[in-house]
Chains A and B, each alone.
Chain A
Amino acid sequence: MTDEAAMMLRVSLFGFVTGIVYWFVSYEPLGTVALLLLGAGPGFAGLVLVQERRKQADPAESRGDTLRRFAGIPPLDPPGPRDKRDDDLGVLPLPSIWPFATSLGLAIMLTGLIYGLWLLVLGGGIAAYATWGWLAAINRENRYGRIQAEDDPPPEDQVTPAAEARADPDPDRADG
């Protein structure tokens, strides 16, 4: 179990325990549901993190270490550096107008709930167009590499280093 998962599961445990106690002292449904949801949300996130950890190639943690971690005590054998691909640390996306445009569209759309359908449709149109532009920009970056993504697709013989790296990752590269 990772520290992240342990934290989420602790919050989840708190939500379930207080939810159950709250129900039996108050018989008040709304607060009980809210507290149980507080248990369910982080609990789900915690279980996803546990499952994810299991899929990794790291040696499994002993049950004793798992319990110690859940209780907040450092494991006997402290974890080493986490596995991380080098390019996780260095690749940055290009500037983009689409987050601004999408937000503007959403704001106009919601304001349309007050002032009328025409504004709602206008805002929805802007938001939809901006979302399409956003996804298209990501698609271009993925296909042609980050540097040229701003421009038209490069000719076949001008493959960017980034696109080349994606197409043909070095099989010998260590992932640590």
Chain B
Amino acid sequence: MATTELPVPALPEAHEEPAGLVDYLITVDHKKIGILYIFTAFAVFLLGGVLALLFRLELAQPGLQVMGQNTYNQLFTIHGTIMVLLFAAQVSTGLGNYLMPLQIGAADVAFPRLNAMSYWLYLFGTLVLLSSFFVAGGPAASGWTAYPPLSDAKYLQGTGMDLWIIGLALAGIAGIIGAVNLVTTIFRMRVPGMTMFRMPLFTWGILVNQLLILFAFPAITAALAMLFVDRNFGAAFFDPARGGSPVLYQHLFWFFGHPEVYIVILPMFGIVSEVIPVFSRKPIFGYRALVFAFFGIAALSFGVWAHHMFTTDAVYLPFFAVLTMLIAVPTGIKIFNWIGTMWRGSISFTTPMLMAIAFIFVFLVGGITGVFLASPPIDFQTNDTYYVVAHFHYVMVGALLFAMFAGFYFWFPKFTGRLLSDRLGKWHFWILFIGFNVTFFVQFNLGLEGMPRRIADYPIRSWGTYNYISTVGSFLMAVGVLVFIWNFIVSIRRGQPAGDDPWEGNSLEWVTSSPPPHHNFHEIPEIHSERPAFDLRHRSPSEADAR
């Protein structure tokens, strides 16, 4: 067998890491840290989901039934904040932490201790932010964008907003440290033979995702610091009465905020680009085009921030409209490539594949409605309506969830050595897919009829029907997620043993055991293409003998 033998350090038994919670407290192993990220992010997702169910209950009928205006403001603020910044942006870091070193044939990340520190900063940031539920006045109520003056000390008193800022600052620092670590790992620790253009597409997704974090997070960290100083130390960065500018905050926020969308979604592109070829039994169609589409989207995402600010009348509209529409080109290339991969493939409709196909569908709906929003006249009509909410959730929730679950079903055997139940998985898929579309598709109509977002009550009774449907859909989604949790609990105990490579995968993680050993690999095959595991499986006997 042609392999690269690795000098694995032989740890004496006495020095094996202890098992249990203490093990996780002191671990610097990228796999355990990845698991910690994934579990924490998923817990945040469940909490954010519960908050959403609460305010969907409030919105099911006109009038105030469940909560008051301020509580509603607080719930949607924390829902948005934790879902976007503490779940969506972090779950991919968790998957990347676990899988990327395996995919490039490394034993760990470049700076394992720093990796642990990133996770703990993220966890503490999350806890600091959530602790605001227990302070006088409750948590922040400014919306997840925290625009001044809604977030300044004059209009939002109490420490809830300050805890929000400090919590996000900690998570932001964690993100920047983590990005330095993962980018260095990809640049410097690939196994011999794995050139950049032989890396798996999920690793490419993580690379571009982390580069975006590296260049975008400093902007939000600066904005948060300025907001904190404004609130607590009497500065006036964003106070127009004293020479500041609230639009300055919006610039800084969205210079981070739009790339954040791609921080969330690019690793999901990577997951789908791994899943579709495996279950179509074909190589990915247009590998290089996909890589350049990743970079095209990432670069363009830095040039479109002010399309979130069209209605401020403080930005040059055509520049941002044109660049925003341009993003449709690399995005279209991706969708074309995924369909090209499936075309005439031998497709097996397993749960991860169904999730990946659903991802393409919902991302397409989200993407196309985004092109409309890029047009300033339409944006002026639909800004701050439920049309934007629907578009945003199709991209950030639908696409993210379906790709994330595709990844969970796909790599769960690698994490645990067992398969998630495909039968329960299909229940999970269909309930979630129907629930998601019932929840959010009607919100396009609500937006076009003029319903503004961020209101607890609405005066027009005809909106009640759509809102009722949307609330039913949201509970259906919750049932879907519960099915997944049940599937997880059952499968991790009694799931079918998976073996090392249950799907006949393409990338290096399928070459090692499930779960992988502490040092990841005992031996690594020679790398001749972007599909080393495939090459190893299908090498001709004569070729094997020759080596």
Is the pairing of A and B real?
yes
Give chain A's interface residues, CB within 8 Å of chain B: 2-4, 7, 10-11, 14-15, 18, 21-22, 25-26, 28, 30-31, 34-35, 38, 41-42, 49, 72, 74, 78-84, 86-100, 102-104, 106-107, 110-111, 113-115, 134, 146-147, 150, 162, 176
A-B contact count (CB 8 A): 173
Residues of B with C-beta under 8 A to A81: 192-193, 527
Binds A, one of B1-9, B409-417, B448-456: B1-9
Question: Taking CB as reference atom, which chain B residue is nearest A78?
Answer: B195
Give the complex CA separation of A98 and B114 in angstroms. Answer: 10
Cβ–Cβ contact B7 & A90, under 8 A = yes
Cβ–Cβ contact B319 & A22, under 8 A = yes
Cβ–Cβ contact A99 & B318, under 8 A = no
Question: Taking CB as reference atom, which chain B residue is nearest A7?
Answer: B295
Cβ–Cβ contact A72 & B288, under 8 A = yes
Check: B315 CB closer than 8 A to any chain A CB: yes
Question: Taking CB as reference atom, which chain A residue is nearest B192?
Answer: A81
Give the complex CA separation of A22 and B317 in angstroms. Answer: 11
Residues of B with C-beta under 8 A to A88: 189
Give the complex CA separation of A49 and B196 in angstroms. Answer: 14
Cβ contact of A110, chosen from B159, B169, B299, B318, cutoff 8 A:
B169
Give the complex CA separation of A34 and B211 in angstroms. Answer: 16
Cβ–Cβ contact B107 & A90, under 8 A = yes
Cβ–Cβ contact B251 & A103, under 8 A = no
Question: Taking CB as reference atom, which chain B residue is nearest A162?
Answer: B9
Residues of A with C-beta under 8 A to B46: none
Interface band, chain B: 35 or more
Question: Taking CB as reference atom, which chain B residue is nearest A19?
Answer: B303
Nearest CB in chain A: distance from B394 CB, A? 27
Which of A21, A35, A74, A84 has most chain B Cβ within 10 Å? Answer: A84
Cβ–Cβ contact B197 & A98, under 8 A = no
Cβ–Cβ contact A11 & B298, under 8 A = yes
Question: Taking CB as reference atom, which chain A residue is nearest B131?
Answer: A111
Q: What 7 A-B pairs have minimum CB-CB distances, sorted nearest first? A: A103-B120, A107-B124, A81-B192, A3-B196, A99-B116, A26-B316, A99-B117
Residues of B with C-beta under 8 A to A102: 117, 120
Residues of B with C-beta under 8 A to A79: 195
Nearest CB in chain A: distance from B517 CB, A? 11
Cβ contact of A82, chosen from B23, B190, B248, B315, cutoff 8 A:
B190
Question: Taking CB as reference atom, which chain B residue is nearest A91?
Answer: B9
Cβ–Cβ contact B116 & A96, under 8 A = yes
What 0/1 pattern do residues 446 to 467 of B give for CB contact below 8 A with A?
Answer: 0000000000000000000000
Residues of A with C-beta under 8 A to B298: 11
Check: B94 CB closer than 8 A to any chain A CB: no
A107-B305 in contact given A11-B299, A89-B7, A92-B518 (Cβ < 8 Å):
no
Residues of B with C-beta under 8 A to A93: 28, 108, 112-113
Which of B12, B128, B232 has most chain A Cβ within 10 Å? Answer: B128
Cβ–Cβ contact A99 & B9, under 8 A = no
A-B contact pairs, 14 of them (CB 8 A): A10-B299, A18-B302, A34-B302, A49-B187, A72-B288, A84-B191, A86-B6, A89-B107, A89-B191, A95-B17, A95-B23, A99-B28, A106-B124, A147-B15
Residues of A with C-beta under 8 A to B440: none
Residues of B with C-beta under 8 A to A78: 195
User: Which of chain B's residues 237-288 have a Cβ closer than 8 Å to chain A?
Assistant: 248, 251-252, 255, 288
Cβ contact of A92, chosen from B9, B26, B124, B127, cutoff 8 A:
B9
Give the complex CA separation of A139 and B106 in angstroms. Answer: 24
Give the complex CA separation of A95 and B116 in angstroms. Answer: 10
Residues of A with C-beta under 8 A to B252: 30
Give the complex CA separation of A134 and B127 in angstroms. Answer: 24
Cβ–Cβ contact B319 & A114, under 8 A = no
Residues of A with C-beta under 8 A to B190: 82
Give the complex CA separation of A102 and B117 in angstroms. Answer: 7
Cβ–Cβ contact B197 & A74, under 8 A = yes
Residues of B with C-beta under 8 A to A42: 211, 215
Give the complex CA separation of A49 and B173 in angstroms. Answer: 24
Residues of A with C-beta under 8 A to B120: 99-100, 102-104
Residues of A with C-beta under 8 A to B197: 3, 74
Nearest CB in chain A: distance from B111 CB, A? 9
Question: Taking CB as reference atom, which chain B residue is nearest A3?
Answer: B196
Give the complex CA separation of A11 and B208 in angstroms. Answer: 11
Residues of B with C-beta under 8 A to A83: 192
Cβ–Cβ contact A110 & B166, under 8 A = yes
